[in-house]
């Protein structure tokens, strides 16, 4: 007698609805709004729970269940594109046993046939579709909901590694992943910190948000890159294997990862995947797993696909990185522009070779998205192997009675009420006399790339502000020698060195002064643009928003920030002190300073007498452009000690390479 199948009860029905709603919300956050709240691992766990419920109780599986869809929707502001071939997602797993189960299903579907697996890196970026016609890139689109995406052709054309024309007149479509190098992501965040802006959380989210920008000029400044990973309908183009189609894409000049191999069985494929667990950390970009595909196109077609994913491929994801530790407290730090940043205070834990006890939490929205609470056990990793960050929470270990963290209402330093603008995620202290802001502004003023004042460190700055000797950066140049000498850890020699550093800083060019004073949105590059365009502080103070926006690269937001800053009483007082101290308030624009006009340089390795930042500043002052990577348009590569791949690429392209002596001579004499 056959046992009757059990029907779903109220608890199962309720849980099914909860899971479906939660997954749909995360689909929209990930695919449309580009601000995911949970890790891929946590998302996959929700989906698997729903799949298990629907398998146990088929009557709960609705036609619009998230398990039957890819997720996402087109975004307002772009034209929509219907994909001729749906952009399916991949089945994925974190378990070797499930990969072997995938292999069993493939062998069952190809009974008696031999087959091979193609294994490639899975890039942690944003999937796009590219269509070429008559050798020209005709259209590029996002995945969207798998059937309909956004037309982002103009944005994709800003990716310098993506060819706009290829040597192939047949129409073809290719799928790829747009990503950002960790170094470019770090540079972008450094620029945003310089400009007093909120920093971004990670390269993947930043890439997704960048592709949704309506202004391609913004996209062009973000240095996005792309890897092509699949030809659509390869059989129609005459390819027998996926590996052959990838070699063809590479021959056309499309960027294709060289880290791909073909194996005769699943054991070889899994062994290669295992070898990448640690090796991937040496890559310049993020990966979150490997993709295992049946290599034969005919066999792929025979295996077919579900409504959601192909049956001939699986993504084997790497376990979530990070070390567990306890979140002991959340403190709020005040930056130089008044931004209040929550910081996690952690039980010390060793991550990637060093002890970590603090990690930035960015803002309240980030804390809410991850549901981080004091007392939680959290996973900590280093973003780009440098900056500590919390990647997730171990909910099973959450203490009973824990409460959501609340942002303090008042500044922890000066007790001024914290405010939050409607169009910003950050809370701010609006008291410009807040000691924490003063310390931050002085630290920024003294930093390399700004006034580069030797001997003026964080602890000394805190003493100068705390004792009331300094209220703004202008006061630095009117310090009393005896007052400084009386401070803790300040002897005769260190005090003398500080005053010598202050005297030397008076010779820094006007654009360095303009960057150093900390105008919001005005980093080193914008300061140089302004100084070259207006010529002096007097001219800048007389400028209006309208006249500033006529300068190339200066938009309305930047212009308004400059005018607002220059017309504050405290700014006028500060600049008056800097004028009396003898700092440069006029940009020198003589012929001798434009020796390298129009030339492009790349810096690599370590220079003995200058930092790379200092070398780059000297090049820009002489009219040169400093690029981050070597290409055919590079005129010179400056190679210090331990120069690596950039030097090798320059040698391959026969680009002139300068040692430090040659570089210094070029700065003096020109090419």
User: pLDDT (tens digit, 9 = 90+) per residue, 287-326?
Assistant: 889 999 999 999 999 999 887 789 999 999 886 557 889 9
- 0.75 surpassed by pTM: no
CATH 2.40.50.140 given to domain 323-428? yes
The confidence band for 366, taking pLDDT boundaries of 50, 70 and 90, is confident
**Which range scores top for mean pLDDT: 12-21, 129-138, 624-633?**
129-138
pLDDT given at position 353: 64
pLDDT given at position 433: 92
Six token digits for residue 169: 């007149």
Sign of CA pseudo-dihedral 223, 224, 227, 231: negative
In words, the CATH class of domain 80-185+197-317 is alpha beta
The confidence band for 70, taking pLDDT boundaries of 50, 70 and 90, is very low
Residue corresponding to tokens 């146990």: 56
Q: Examine the pLDDT at 103 and tell me if it is beyond 80.
A: yes
Q: What are phi and psi of 385, to 5 degrees?
A: 60, 25
Mean pLDDT is lowest, of 168-177, 399-408, 585-594, 630-639, for 585-594
CATH of domain 10-68: 1.10.287.610
Give me the mean pLDDT over the 243-266 stretch: 94
Q: Examine the pLDDT at 249 and tell me if it is beyond 90.
A: yes
CATH topology of domain 594-669: Rossmann fold (3.40.50)
C-alpha R_g of the chain: 28
Report helix angle 556-566 to 569-581, nearest 10.
70
User: Distance of CA 459 to CAs 232, 331, 489, Å?
Assistant: 59, 20, 10
The confidence band for 41, taking pLDDT boundaries of 50, 70 and 90, is low
Give me the mean pLDDT over the 219-236 stretch: 92
pLDDT given at position 78: 80
Mean pLDDT is lowest, of 40-49, 108-117, 218-227, for 40-49
The confidence band for 86, taking pLDDT boundaries of 50, 70 and 90, is confident
**Which range scores top for mean pLDDT: 44-53, 418-427, 473-482, 604-613?**
473-482
pLDDT given at position 414: 96
Q: Examine the pLDDT at 669 and tell me if it is beyond 80.
A: no
Every domain range in the chain assigned CATH 3.40.50.10190: 594-669
Every domain range in the chain assigned CATH 1.10.287.610: 10-68
- The bridge status of strand 92-93 relative to strand 313-317 is parallel
Residue corresponding to tokens 């460190």: 457
pLDDT tens, position by position, 606-647: 888 787 778 887 888 787 888 877 888 889 999 988 787 788
In words, the CATH class of domain 435-581 is mainly alpha
Percentage of the chain exceeding pLDDT 90: 50
What lies within 8 Å, CB to CB, of 316 at 6+ separation is 92, 93, 94, 96, 99, 270, 273, 289, 290, 291, 292
Q: What are phi and psi of 558, to 5 degrees?
A: -65, -45
Q: Return mean pLDDT, the chain.
A: 87
Every domain range in the chain assigned CATH 1.10.150.20: 435-581
pLDDT given at position 564: 94
pLDDT tens, position by position, 524-541: 878 888 998 898 999 999
Q: Examine the pLDDT at 595 and tell me if it is beyond 70.
A: yes
CB atoms within 10 A of CB 351: 21
pLDDT tens, position by position, 440-481: 999 999 997 799 998 899 999 999 999 999 999 999 999 999
Sign of CA pseudo-dihedral 105, 106, 108, 109: positive
| Catalytic site positions | 122
pLDDT given at position 292: 97
Every domain range in the chain assigned CATH 2.40.50.140: 323-428
Q: Examine the pLDDT at 599 and tell me if it is beyond 60.
A: yes
pLDDT tens, position by position, 579-593: 999 999 998 765 445
Every domain range in the chain assigned CATH 3.30.470.30: 80-185+197-317
């Amino acid at each position: 007698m056959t046992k009757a199948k059990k029907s779903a009860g109220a608890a199962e029905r309720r849980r099914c609805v909860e899971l479906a709603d939660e997954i749909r919300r995360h689909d929209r956050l990930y695919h449309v709004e580009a601000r995911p709240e949970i890790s891929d691992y946590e998302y996959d766990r929700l989906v698997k729970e729903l799949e298990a419920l629907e398998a146990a109780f088929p009557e709960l599986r609705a036609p619009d269940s998230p398990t039957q869809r890819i997720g996402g929707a087109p975004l307002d502001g772009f034209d929509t594109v219907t994909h001729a071939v749906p952009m399916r997602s991949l089945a994925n797993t974190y378990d070797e046993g499930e990969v072997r189960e995938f292999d069993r299903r493939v062998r069952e579907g190809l009974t008696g046939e031999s087959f091979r697996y193609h294994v490639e890196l899975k890039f942690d970026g944003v999937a796009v579709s590219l269509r070429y016609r008559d050798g020209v890139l005709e259209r590029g689109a996002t995945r969207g909901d798998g059937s309909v995406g956004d037309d982002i052709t103009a944005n994709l054309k800003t990716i310098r590694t993506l060819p706009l024309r290829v040597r192939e007149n047949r129409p073809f479509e290719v799928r790829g992943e747009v990503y950002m190098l960790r170094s470019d992501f770090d540079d972008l965040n450094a620029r945003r910190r310089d400009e007093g802006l909120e920093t971004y959380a990670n390269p993947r989210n930043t890439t997704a948000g960048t592709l949704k920008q309506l202004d391609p000029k913004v996209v062009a400044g973000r240095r996005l890159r792309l890897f092509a990973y699949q030809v659509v309908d390869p059989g129609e183009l005459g390819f027998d294997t996926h590996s052959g189609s990838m070699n063809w894409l590479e021959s056309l000049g499309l960027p294709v990862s060289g880290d791909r191999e073909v194996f005769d069985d699943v054991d070889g494929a899994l062994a290669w995947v295992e070898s990448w667990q640690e090796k991937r950390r040496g890559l310049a970009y993020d990966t979150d797993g490997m993709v295992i595909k049946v290599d034969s196109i005919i066999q792929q077609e025979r295996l077919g696909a579900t409504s959601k994913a192909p049956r001939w491929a699986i993504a084997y994801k790497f376990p979530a990185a990070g070390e567990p530790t306890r979140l002991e407290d959340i403190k709020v730090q005040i930056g130089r522009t008044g931004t209040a940043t929550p910081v996690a205070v952690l039980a010390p834990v060793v991550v990637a070779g060093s002890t970590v006890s603090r990690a930035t939490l960015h803002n309240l929205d980030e804390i809410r998205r991850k549901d981080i609470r004091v007392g939680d056990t959290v996973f900590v990793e280093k973003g780009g192997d440098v900056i500590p960050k919390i990647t997730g929470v171990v909910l099973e270990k959450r203490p009973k009675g824990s409460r959501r963290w609340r942002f303090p209402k008042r500044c922890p330093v000066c007790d001024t009420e914290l405010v939050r603008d409607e169009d910003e995620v950050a809370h701010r202290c609006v008291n410009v006399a807040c000691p924490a802001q003063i310390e931050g502004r002085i630290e920024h003023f003294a930093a390399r790339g700004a006034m580069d004042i030797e001997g003026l460190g964080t602890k000394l700055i805190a003493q100068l502000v705390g004792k009331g000797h300094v209220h703004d950066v202008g006061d630095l140049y009117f310090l009393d020698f005896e007052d400084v000498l009386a401070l803790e850890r300040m002897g005769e020699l260190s005090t003398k060195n500080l005053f010598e550093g202050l005297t030397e800083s008076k010779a820094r060019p006007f654009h360095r002064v303009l960057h150093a004073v900390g105008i919001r949105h005005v980093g080193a590059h914008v300061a140089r643009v302004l100084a070259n365009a207006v010529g002096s502080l007097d001219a800048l103070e007389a400028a209006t928003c309208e006249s500033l926006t006529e300068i190339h690269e200066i938009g309305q937001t930047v212009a308004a920030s400059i005018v607002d800053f220059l017309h504050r009483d405290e700014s006028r007082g500060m600049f008056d002190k800097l004028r009396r101290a003898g700092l440069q308030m006029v940009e020198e624009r003589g012929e001798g300073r434009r020796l390298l006009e129009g030339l492009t340089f790349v810096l690599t390795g370590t220079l003995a007498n200058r930092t790379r930042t200092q070398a780059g500043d000297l090049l820009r002052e002489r009219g040169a452009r400093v690029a981050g990577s070597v290409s055919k348009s590079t005129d010179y590569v400056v190679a210090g000690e331990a120069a690596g791949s950039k030097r090798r690429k320059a040698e391959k392209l026969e680009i002139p390479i300068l040692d430090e002596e040659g570089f210094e001579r070029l700065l003096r004499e020109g090419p």
